[in-house]
Structure 1
């Protein structure tokens, strides 16, 4: 078994570009404490080598100690949605990916406050985590108010591109649910076009949030600024 305490899983991290910021404003002392005291225990571990000696994998059942359903949140922002889901569905395990360290610190504070235990945190690029998850291991995935990358020349950086969607399709179980929320019309347009091409069928497309939704800071900002949030649901095809 490999030690993952210092590794982002990717055996060759220089092979891909990273899009976005890793650090923001100076962390509060309490947030620094969350990172130093809590993050290590919440990072996905239990790395094994499969038949290919150049590939490492994670056994999701080993992360939470049993065979519970595993959910994945890509870019959890401040963590409101992820912690809400963990508290609402205590029998699932949810893994969150977020490279922005300020967001990770905010999430850790919310995990402490809510006392949820069915969470795991990857403080890095979701692509690195998807590289090491087994096929068909994720039952539900969330993309909540992702970075819109509004300039046309940056659209390739959006999550709803083959570079991200094909790995997601690989790790999702047939019938698994993928939810996308955004207040950016062009992002929703690209979502509608690209996600089905990766092996998903759209089953809902509406401006009404899901029944188990919790409003996040990003949604509240959109509403204050007059933008209409949109919620799209996909099912992974066989």
Structure 2
């Protein structure tokens, strides 16, 4: 297994269908107001003007989970990272509709944001349905690899939570293998129901519903930072 210090994702296209006029306006008008600063060190005070707790989502899709978490915990600052423009537009729609002042967005590689945060800065990291990169020769591109996990571990507070959701059997087996080798995360699972059923505070996403419609099993992994 290839475990460089950090592994940069290769995303391919960053935009799908052409944006409608209203969507383009969101990008032009709202994104600059909620965008993570492009450079320099990051912390809660720079992002939100105070010392609130921080949580980060890697690859937020259309933003349903991010928005639901932010709505439930308005006192927490949420950082969402997503490389695809259409996903960012979806999240911006939620931010506008729900008037979410506690969300900051980054269109690009999550690792470039995570590495700019102080150590032990995050209360939680969410990685839901990441690209499985199913071919063996592409395994090094998976986010669940020791390089990215080293960085995530460094930025999580002791006792903070790392959540991983997947409906891909290959990724499920890979993640269990990689995480079992680590001593800085403890898997919160005592019986199969702990990772086969979605926790009550884990909002369902559009992608997850689609996976279940196609008959896929979904696995919910929760780890605590040691």
So what's the TM-score if we normalise by structure 1? 0.85
* Mapped contact 1:34–1:108 kept (Cα < 8 A): yes
Query: How many residues are aligned here?
Result: 215
1:200 aligns with 2:191: no
Trace 1:147-166 onto structure 2 (pairs within 5 A): 147-166=131-150
**Could you tell me which residue of structure 2 aligns to residue 234 of structure 1?**
223
SS at match of 1:19: coil
* Mapped contact 2:7–2:140 kept (Cα < 8 A): no
Q: Which of structures 1 and 2 has the larger relative contact order (alpha carbons within 8 angstroms, sep 6+)?
A: 2
1:103 aligns with 2:95: no
**Could you tell me which residue of structure 2 aligns to residue 184 of structure 1?**
168
Q: Deviations over 1:52-83 (max 9, x none)?
A: xxxx4212222111111100000000000000
Query: Unaligned regions of 5+ residues in structure 2, if any?
Result: 1-5
Separation (CA, whole Å) in 2 of partners of 1:59 and 1:110: 23
Trace 1:1-238 onto structure 2 (pairs within 5 A): 17-20=8-11, 21-45=13-37, 56-196=40-180, 197=182, 199-204=184-189, 205-237=194-226
Once the two structures are overlaid, the 10-residue window that deviates more, 201-210 or 225-234, is 201-210
Deviation, 1:200, is 1.0
SS at match of 1:38: helix
* Mapped contact 2:7–2:141 kept (Cα < 8 A): no
- Which stretches of structure 1, 4 residues or more, deviate above 6 A after TM superposition? none
So what's the TM-score if we normalise by structure 2? 0.90
SS at match of 1:178: strand
Query: Unaligned regions of 5+ residues in structure 1, if any?
Result: 1-14, 48-55
Separation (CA, whole Å) in 2 of partners of 1:16 and 1:158: 8
SS at match of 1:179: strand
* Mapped contact 2:55–2:77 kept (Cα < 8 A): yes
**Could you tell me which residue of structure 2 aligns to residue 12 of structure 1?**
none
Separation (CA, whole Å) in 2 of partners of 1:23 and 1:95: 21
Deviation, 1:46, is 9.2
* Mapped contact 2:8–2:109 kept (Cα < 8 A): no
Deviation, 1:45, is 3.0
Q: Deviations over 1:11-38 (max 9, x none)?
A: xxxx975411312111111111110001
